[in-house]
Structure formats: structure tokens, C-alpha cells
């Protein structure tokens, strides 16, 4: 008989970035550019989305836009103050503008997008004097993983 009983192990909790990357992988499996987004407030996940422009025949159906729409619907609000957005790729200018209009508190993103980004590259939406609200921005989270997802997706599409 053992002297002690092992402590019950609890499974590790998925982080918002884990959920965003899982959503990005679902996008790739559906033939969409692999980008995932998650909206969180006070530790509660309000929305998880992935790119769906092809599926919805809608060029605005980026992961960020869909997650913002779902979070607003869940809260019954048109803005998301106090909410944080986690995305696997630097948002494009359209999504950056929507993030500002939604009054997102913090933006966390994975891979930089020197060609199509709108936050730290390209239009730099939050740096413009006409920007009404700029979230705190933190980039480079799991950057290699995000870049690899995109690189592999486009390599497979070209093959």
C-alpha cells in the first residue's frame, strides 16, 4: 500500500493564444488563410473565430472582424472596452480600424505581417492622428508558429 496518494492532476488550461492557433488551424483545414482570433474580458472567452472570406463570400470576414462581431453580440454592446484581442497574425488595416472602433483595450498578436499588416507595418493605423482609439499593442507571441502556419498553407496551395 503506498504511503501517499498522488495529488489529482488538473489539465492545463488553454490560453487565448492556444484557442486562436486552434482556430487558425481550422481555417487552414477549410481552405482559408490560417488566422485565428479570440476576444477575452476578465478572463472569460467571449468569442473565437477564424478567417472565413471564402466560405461566406465576404472579403471582410477576417478572424478579427468575426470575433469582434461575436463578442459584441454576446455582450449586447456595440463596443468592447475592457476586452483584449488575441490574433495569430498582425491585423490588416481594415481589422486594425475595427479594433479601434470597438475600443479593444489590448491587442496581442503572433506573426508580424510586413506586407499586409496595419499595426506595426504598412498603414500603422493606431499611429495616425485620425485614430480615435489605440489599444495597447503587444506583438511577437508565438511568432514562429504563426509564420510557419502561413508559410505551410501557401506552400501547399502552390503545390
Walk along the chain (159 residues) in steps of 10 and give the mean pLDDT of each run.
Answer: 49 88 98 98 97 98 98 98 98 98 98 96 96 97 96 93
| Whole-number pLDDT of residue 3 | 46
| Whole-number pLDDT of residue 9 | 55
| Whole-number pLDDT of residue 81 | 97
Which residues are the active-site residues? 64
| Whole-number pLDDT of residue 1 | 42
Name 38's Cβ contacts closer than 8 Å, sequence gap at least 6. 16, 17, 19, 20, 23, 45, 47, 48, 49, 67, 85, 86, 87
Q: Which pTM does this prediction carry?
A: 0.91
pLDDT (tens digit per residue) in 50-91: 999 999 999 999 999 999 999 999 999 999 999 999 999 999
| Whole-number pLDDT of residue 134 | 98
Amino acid at each position: 500500500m503506498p504511503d501517499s496518494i498522488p495529488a489529482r492532476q488538473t489539465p492545463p488550461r488553454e490560453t487565448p493564444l492556444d484557442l486562436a492557433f486552434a482556430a487558425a488551424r481550422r481555417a487552414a483545414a477549410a481552405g482559408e488563410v490560417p488566422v485565428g482570433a479570440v476576444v477575452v474580458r476578465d478572463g472569460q472567452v467571449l468569442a473565437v473565430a477564424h478567417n472565413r472570406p471564402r466560405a461566406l463570400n465576404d472579403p471582410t470576414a477576417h478572424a478579427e472582424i468575426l470575433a469582434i462581431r461575436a463578442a459584441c453580440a454576446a455582450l449586447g454592446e456595440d463596443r468592447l472596452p475592457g476586452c483584449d484581442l488575441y490574433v495569430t497574425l498582425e491585423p490588416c488595416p481594415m481589422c486594425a480600424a475595427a479594433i479601434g472602433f470597438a475600443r479593444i483595450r489590448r491587442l496581442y498578436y503572433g506573426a508580424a505581417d510586413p506586407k499586409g499588416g496595419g499595426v506595426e507595418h504598412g498603414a500603422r493605423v493606431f499611429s495616425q492622428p485620425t485614430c480615435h482609439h489605440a489599444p495597447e499593442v503587444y506583438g511577437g507571441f508565438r511568432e514562429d508558429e504563426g509564420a510557419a502556419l502561413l508559410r505551410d498553407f501557401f506552400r501547399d496551395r502552390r503545390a
